[in-house]
Structure 1
Amino acid sequence: MFGHEEKIDRKRVHLINITSFLMGFNASLLAYVMSYYLKEVFGTDNIGVIYLLSYLVILLILLHVHKIIYYFGKSFVLHVSIFLKTLAVAGLLIFPVSVAGIPFFVLYIVTGTLAWTALGAILESFSLDRESGRIRGMHLTIMNAGYLMGPLLATQLLGDYGFNGVFMLSFLVYSVIFIFTLLFIRKTNHKFKKKINAMDMLKKVIKRKNIMRIYYVSFALEFFYALMTIYVPLYLLEKGFTWDELGMAFTLMLVPFVLVQYPMGLIADKKTGEKEFLLFSFFILGISTLMFYFSESPDIMVWATILILGRIGAALVELLRESYFFKRIDGNDVDVMGFFGTARPVAYIVATSISSVLLLFFSVKWIFLVVAVVCFSAIYPTFRLADNKSEKDFLS
C-alpha cells in the first residue's frame, strides 16, 4: 500500500492549506444562497435541472482531466479554473437574478469542481501516505474553518444588500485567491507519466475493488450534500424561518467540520484505519436525515441540532474517504483521482434527476427520505472495504 515513491514538502502543504481556507470561505458565501437565487429566477422549487446540466459538464471534464493535466500541468489547471470562476462571479454581479446569469452560474459550478480537483492533486504530490489522515484532516479542517465563516455573513449580506452584496464580496475574494496562487503555487506542473484514454482509465479502476467501494462511499456523501444543500434552505424558508435564523443554524452545523476531522485523521493513521468509523458515520448520517424528514418543530434550534448531528456524520465520512483513497494512490495517479472526483457530478446528476421527478408529485419533504435511504445503502460497501493498516498495525 505504501510501496510508491513519496516525499513531503511541508511549506507547499501550508500554502495549499491557505488557498483551501480562502476557497472554502468563498465557496460557503454562495453555497446556501444559490438555490434561492435559482428559485427567484425561475419562480419554482424544482430547480434541479440547472444543477443536472452543470454536473453533466463536470462529469465529461473529469473523465478527461488527466489528459488536461498531462498537457498543461496541475498548477496551470488550478490558475485557469480560479480565473474563470472569478469571471463567473463577475457575470453574476452584472446580471443579478435574471436568466442571463444562468450561464455564469453553470460556469461557477464547473470551474469550482475543477479547481478543487487540481488543488487536491497538487496536495497529493507533496504528501506521505502514512500521514494521509493527518494531512487530509488538517487540510479539510482549515478549509472548513473558512467555510464556517461564510453562511452567516452571506445571509446578512443577502438581507442588507441583496445578491449584489454577496457576489461583490465573492468577486473580491476570488481575485485575491487568483493572485495568491499565481505567486505561491507555481512550478507544480508534474506531468502525468502515462497517457491513457477514458476507457482505459475506467478499466483500470474497475479492477480495483476497494477503489470502487470507496467511490460509492463518496457518491453517497455527495448525494447527501447535493440535495441537502439545495433543498434545506428552501424547505426551512417555507416553514417560516428567516435568513438570519438560517445563517445562525448553518454556521452551527458547520462547526463539527472544524472540530472532528483532524483528530479523526490522527486516530485513523495511528490506531484504527478508516473502516470502522466510516460504518458508524453513515449510521449517524442516515438517522439524522430521517429526523429531518419526521420533524415538525417550530423551533430553529431543533432544526440546527438535527443539522449538526448530520454534519458530524458528514465530516467524518468526508475525512475518512479522503484518507482511505489517498493512501491507495500517489501523485502520479491523476487518472484515478479524476475518476474518484466524478463521484460528485455523478451524485449530483442522479440526485437532481430524482428530485426533479419527485417534486412533480410530492413535496420537498420527501427528498429527505430518499437521502436517508442512499446514506444507509453505503453501509454495505463500507463493510466490504479492506481496511488500511494503521501505524499501530505496522508496529505490532
Structure 2
Amino acid sequence: MRRFRAAAAGAVTVSMLTAVTACGGGSSTGGGGSNDSPKTLTYWASNQGPSVEADKKILTPELKKFEKQTGTKVKLEVVPWSDLLNRILAATTSGQGPDVLNIGNTWSASLQATGALLPWDDKNFDKIGGRDRFVESALGSAGASTADPAAVPLYSMAYALYYNKKMFADAGISKPPATWDELVTDGKKISKNDKWALGAEGSNLSNNIHQVFVLAKQHGADFFDADGKPDFTSDGAVAAVKQYVDLMAKDKVVAPGNAEYAQNQSLQDFAKDKTAMVLWQTASATFKAHGMSDDEWGVAPVPVRSGTPGTGTATNSMVAGINMAVFKNTKNIDGATKFVKFMTSDGEQKILNKTYGSIPPVKAAQADPAFNSPALAVIKDTLAKSAAPLPQVSDESQFETAVGTAVKELFADAAGGRAVTTASVKAKLAKAQQQMPKK
C-alpha cells in the first residue's frame, strides 16, 4: 500500500461503522476469539504483489516453513486493498477477524484507538528479538507516539517516479522530470495518439490521500493542525488537491479513464506502453508480472516544486509501509507472536522484501547488498531524506475515506468535462471535513 482515535479510545465513530457495515463485514472464520485450535492461526495478508493469486504463491511456501518449524498451521487470506480497511474495522467491532493481519502503516493510530490490537510493549517486543532490531522511522508509523506501538513494521516503502524508457525516447525526452513543471512539459509531448504521460488511480482512496498529502507538504500545508484537528480547507491543502486533479483536468497529461482506476490498472497501462510514468511504491514486481523487463523502465525521485527533494516543502513521499498486528482477543497469543517473530526474522525479511521489491524495516536484513540496487537505492534515499509520515492521529482512517472520496469525485468531474476550480475543490474538502468525527 500500498497503500489506509484518540477522541473515543476503544471506539470507532457511529458514522464510520455505518459505512463499514454497508461495505461488508469481517471474516466469519478464525481469529478474534473464534479460533479454538492452538495449532491454527488465521492471517489476513495485504495484496502486495501483482495479484491476490501471486501473493498466495509467494506466501504459502513461507507459511509452510513456519508450520514445519512450530507445528502451527496458518490459514491465509489475501485481502485486496479496496476491501482491507473496511474488513479490519468491521472485525474490530464484531470480534470476528483473524489472529494476525497486515495493516497499512497509515492506519496504525486509528486502529490502535479501537483497543482491538495487541500493544507492542517492551515485553512483547522482547518475544520477537527486541525493539532495537527495527529502523526507528518505521516504528514511527506504528501508532501514536503517546502509546506503545499497535503493530510491528513488516515492509518499508516510499513513492518513486517510474518511467518507461521507450516512451521517453520516442518523445525525445532524455531524462526524467525533477519538478512538476518539467513533468507537465514532458507530459504534453507524450500525451497524444492514445498515449498518456502519467497514470493515476482516481478511485483508489488511499492512493489519492498519499499523493495529495505529499503535494500539501510541498505547498507548506497539512490536513491536520498541531492539535490533530482537521484542517482540510487551508489554501495549501486546496492548492495541493487542485494541482493533483489538474494533471487530468487542466494539463491533460492523465487519461480521463484513470478516474475509474482503483487497483493497479495504471501499472498495467505502463507495462503495455500506454502510459509513460507512474507514481508508485515498489512497482518492479508488478512490471515483471506483466512481461516488462528491468531494462525497459527507470526510476527517479518523485518531482518537487523546485530544487531537490528534502524535508518540509521539498517532501516527495509519505513514509509508506506495511505493519503486522495481532488481535488482542486471539485465543492463540503465543502462536501469533511466534508468527510475527518468524515474519520479521532476518531471513524472512530478506526473502519477502526481495520478492516484493520493498525495503526491510529490520536493520540486519536491510544491510543485505540486494537492497542497494538502483531502483531500491532511490527508495532508501527517499525514506532517509525526503519522506514524511502521515499524521498518526486517531481519525486518520476517516480522513483517508473522506478526503480520498473528495479527490475521487473531483477526478470524476474532470473526466466528465466539468470544471474543477479552486472553489469547487474547497467545497469538496469542506464537505469532507464536515464528515469527520466531532470532538
TM-score range (shorter-chain normalised) is under 0.3
More helix by share: 1
* Higher strand residue share: 2
TM-score by length of 2: 0.23
Q: Which has the higher contact order (CA 8 A, sep 6+)?
A: 1
Normalised by the size of structure 1, how large is the TM-score?
A: 0.25
Structure with greater Cα Rg: 2
